[in-house]
Amino acid sequence: MKLNITYIYNFLKPQALVVSLLLLPVIALAQNDTTKNLNEVKVSTSAIPVLQTIVPAQQITNSDFTRYNAFNVADAIRNFAGVSIKDYGGIGGLKTVSIRGLGANHTAILFDGIQINDAENGQVDLGKLNLNNVQEISLYNGQPPYLLQPARSFAAASVLSIKTIKPLLNAVKPYQITAGVRAGSFGLFNPYLQWQQRLSKTWGFVLNGYTQYANGKYPYKIHNGNATTQQTRLSSAISAQQIDGAIYWAKNDSNKFNLRVNYYNSDRGLPGPVVLYTPPPSGQRLWNEDLFIQSTYQHSWRSGFNLLLNAKFSKNNLRYVDPQFPNTAGFLDQRFTQREYYQSAALSYHILPNWEVSYAADLAITNMTSDRPNFKYPTRTTLLNVVATNLVLSKVTLQVSLLNTNIRETVRTGTTVPNTNVYSPTIMATLRPFNDQSFKVRGYYKYIFRVPTFNELYYGYVTNTNLKPEFTNQYDLGLSYNKALTGWLDYIGFTADAYYNNVTNKIVYTPNTYNGSVQNFGKVDIKGLDVSVKTQANISRKYKALISVNYSYQNAQDVTDPTSSTYLNQLPYIPKNTVAINAGINRGPIGVYYNQLISSSRYFTNNNLPDSYLALYAIGDISAVYKGLINRLPVMLSVEVNNVFNKDYVVIQSYPMPGRSFRISFQITI
């Protein structure tokens, strides 16, 4: 039977998705379990902290967050190869991620397998995602290598997957409480608490909460010829709170369910750009209030079938105030609300032990309201269907998927964009040319696109509904060598990937803190190289040294019109060369780490003229960490110095970054 998107849109009400969300626990518990637990097998070897998959992938776990001086998700992934973080400065400044020059809108952020979607601007602020409840963060170029996943996981150029801490307790100690506090420069105060509880053999929960405050006042310098003036960044205070609770049910590894509720609110000052001879705007503020409820049920049968159900409801309130806006009222006070109802079902089947097939379907209804005059009140209905297969032979692994994206958009008044119906293929493969399991060659091709966001289409006094979807052809060819060793080196991990991204109808956003201009740039060619090396050495019986080096080369050029002044120019804010180095020494419970990030020069406009030149920067951070016991209770104490050499630099033009700053953290687990 042919599935009609118009029929779904007209007759499937959003309330039905909420009902399905509430009924999902009942469905889950009604499943008959026909699986058996497998006996545990223990294997001892040196761990290789390198994610080995069919696609280029990088990973960081919670044990490494202090090594990288990471305060939020943006800090945790800034060392990844191919990653560019756009940072507007300060603790509360907007932080978004661009992978391989494609922009933040091409990166899907998954939270326990379900996407954090923002149809309003398409960019998730990674600074809002704290690390207190995070177990690991993985970055996949192309898409995650798993077949049993929502269709949305196939629908982006890159996927950043965040997995949270699960309760792993027993009857002897059925609870675990972790309390901590961070404090530091610019008035930072950040206490947090986590409570894990085992309720029975099958039920448990994890509850997290934190509050964060900072006045955001940090010094910066303005250079004007030979004259240098020191100023203080004002109007950048932040007050934020978050509560996250999840309940887990698991009969065994083959039959499990979880339900999560997450609430976040913040009040942030927006200091605005620094411009010579112009006082920075004062009093601009941004309020966020975000709520989402999501649930997941997974079941596996002995017959080879695997089922994955996901549901989510999210509501995001945003308020922006500018008391000095140059309109007839003399101020601006705008409110926006975004809601999304989401349902996903995925089914996989092992035809043979080495051959798996899958099908997934996602339905999302997203709408946006505002108190702005003449607002169009857009509603977007997205239906995704994907089929995939994975075949493992003796030396070759092949994975193929085909995604169909069907999007319908409506507005209350005016015109909207045409309906979208696109098929997107992906082909991925790895080859093991030798008998040695350590060395592999890999490659993939992916055709994917993104539609313009609500802000790009409808925000502004003159709305722009002429924007076209941005299409991307991705090509990647790489190799990896990962081997556990038994000598003075514990392991060595090496990966290198050359890639080529061909983009048509490139949507370019010229950034500002809250608003900006947007256009279809035309055609863009991005040629790049990602190289990563990681190893750990036993210096002596008591000392271990760790080092990782990531290098990225990105040549992102406008190839639209050979007669244009911007032809073959580098795209704004994309450095050609980036190097990230992390090194440390451990002695028992004590570790000392140094992190160095080097970014080459960039331009903040398409013209690449001297007036739009941004100099290279090299920022070093250092930390000392103690992880041990006090009265038999696990504790962690860390002291961090960020920008240890007090360098003046900007990531975004006119938004100076903080100089040297300090942070101290203490955590105890009961």
Confidence at 29, pLDDT banded by 50, 70, 90: very low
CATH number at residue 156: 2.40.170.20
Percentage of the residues of the chain whose pLDDT score is greater than 90? 75
Average pLDDT, the chain: 90
Quote the radius of gyration of the chain (alpha carbons, Å).
25
- Output the pLDDT for position 189: 98
Residue 64, domain extent: 47-669
The model's pLDDT over 395-419, given as tens digits with 9 standing for 90+, comes to 999 999 999 999 999 999 888 888 9
CA dihedral 66, 69, 74, 80 (to 10 degrees): -80
Confidence at 34, pLDDT banded by 50, 70, 90: very low
Token pair of 450, please?
């993104």
* Burial class of residue 68 (count of CB atoms within 10 Å of its CB; 0-12, 13-18, 19+): buried
In whole angstroms, give the CA distance from residue 458 to residue 417.
10
Q: Which residues of 488-501 are buried (b: 16+ CB within 10 A; e: fewer)?
A: eebbbbbbbbbbeb
Token pair of 445, please?
């091709």
- Output the pLDDT for position 312: 99
In whole angstroms, give the CA distance from residue 524 to residue 519.
13
The model's pLDDT over 582-618, given as tens digits with 9 standing for 90+, comes to 999 999 999 999 999 999 999 999 899 999 999 999 9
Inform me whether the pLDDT recorded for 90 exceeds 60. yes
The values of phi and psi at residue 217, to 5°, are -85, 110
The model's pLDDT over 124-166, given as tens digits with 9 standing for 90+, comes to 999 999 999 999 999 999 999 999 999 999 999 999 999 999 9
Token pair of 421, please?
């119906």
Token pair of 648, please?
């003046």
* Burial class of residue 327 (count of CB atoms within 10 Å of its CB; 0-12, 13-18, 19+): exposed
Q: How far is CA 128 from CA 267, 270, 352, 453, 641, in A?
A: 12, 15, 44, 20, 21
Sequence-separated (6 or more) residues with CB below 8 Å from residue 422: 404, 405, 449, 469
Please report whether residue 375 resides in a domain.
yes
- Output the pLDDT for position 3: 41
**Beta strands, E only, 14-145:** 57-61, 83-87, 95-99, 107-111, 114-115, 134-141
Could you tell me which of 341, 343, 296, 285 has the C-alpha nearest to residue 315? 341
In whole angstroms, give the CA distance from residue 106 to residue 597.
24
Q: How far is CA 667 from CA 62, 500, 626, in A?
A: 14, 44, 10
Averaged pLDDT for residues 485-494: 92
- Output the pLDDT for position 23: 46
Confidence at 325, pLDDT banded by 50, 70, 90: confident
Confidence at 510, pLDDT banded by 50, 70, 90: low
Please report whether residue 199 resides in a domain.
yes
- Residue 88 contacts residue 99 (beta carbons within 8 Å): no
- Output the pLDDT for position 461: 52
Could you tell me which of 210, 52, 51, 196 has the C-alpha nearest to residue 137? 51
- Lowest mean pLDDT segment, chosen from 116-120, 275-279, 547-551, 616-620: 275-279
- Lowest mean pLDDT segment, chosen from 60-64, 74-78, 464-468, 625-629: 464-468
Element (H, E) at 138: strand 134-141
Averaged pLDDT for residues 291-302: 97
**Beta strands, E only, 3-102:** 57-61, 83-87, 95-99
Averaged pLDDT for residues 236-250: 96
Helix (H, G, I), strand (E, B) or coil at 631: coil
Give residue for tokens 């309201």.
Answer: 369
Please report whether residue 455 resides in a domain.
yes
Inform me whether the pLDDT recorded for 638 exceeds 60. yes
Averaged pLDDT for residues 207-214: 97
**Residue that wins the pLDDT comparison between 526 and 16:** 526
Confidence at 43, pLDDT banded by 50, 70, 90: very low
Confidence at 280, pLDDT banded by 50, 70, 90: low
Element (H, E) at 73: helix 73-77
Element (H, E) at 23: helix 14-29
- Lowest mean pLDDT segment, chosen from 89-93, 205-209, 339-343, 455-459: 89-93
Please state, as a whole number, how many other Cβ atoms lie within 10 Å of the Cβ of residue 246.
Answer: 23
Sequence-separated (6 or more) residues with CB below 8 Å from residue 322: 281, 283, 284, 331, 332
Token pair of 384, please?
């995704």
In whole angstroms, give the CA distance from residue 451 to residue 447.
14
The model's pLDDT over 355-369, given as tens digits with 9 standing for 90+, comes to 999 999 999 999 999
- Output the pLDDT for position 448: 98
Q: Is the dihedral of CA 431, 158, 246, 381 positive or negative?
A: negative
Please report whether residue 239 resides in a domain.
yes
Token pair of 520, please?
């279809």
Please state, as a whole number, how many other Cβ atoms lie within 10 Å of the Cβ of residue 640.
Answer: 23
Please report whether residue 290 resides in a domain.
yes
* Burial class of residue 226 (count of CB atoms within 10 Å of its CB; 0-12, 13-18, 19+): exposed
Please report whether residue 26 resides in a domain.
no
- Residue 238 contacts residue 213 (beta carbons within 8 Å): yes
Please report whether residue 499 resides in a domain.
yes
Please report whether residue 40 resides in a domain.
no
Element (H, E) at 604: none
The angle formed by the CA atoms of residues 601, 446 and 568, to the nearest 5 degrees, is 35
CA 69: distance to chain centroid?
18
| pTM, full prediction | 0.91
- Output the pLDDT for position 77: 97
User: Which residue(s) pair with 465 in the sheet?
Assistant: none
Count of domains observed in the chain: 1
- Output the pLDDT for position 235: 84
Sequence-separated (6 or more) residues with CB below 8 Å from residue 42: none
The values of phi and psi at residue 463, to 5°, are -75, 155
Averaged pLDDT for residues 207-217: 96
In whole angstroms, give the CA distance from residue 590 to residue 585.
8
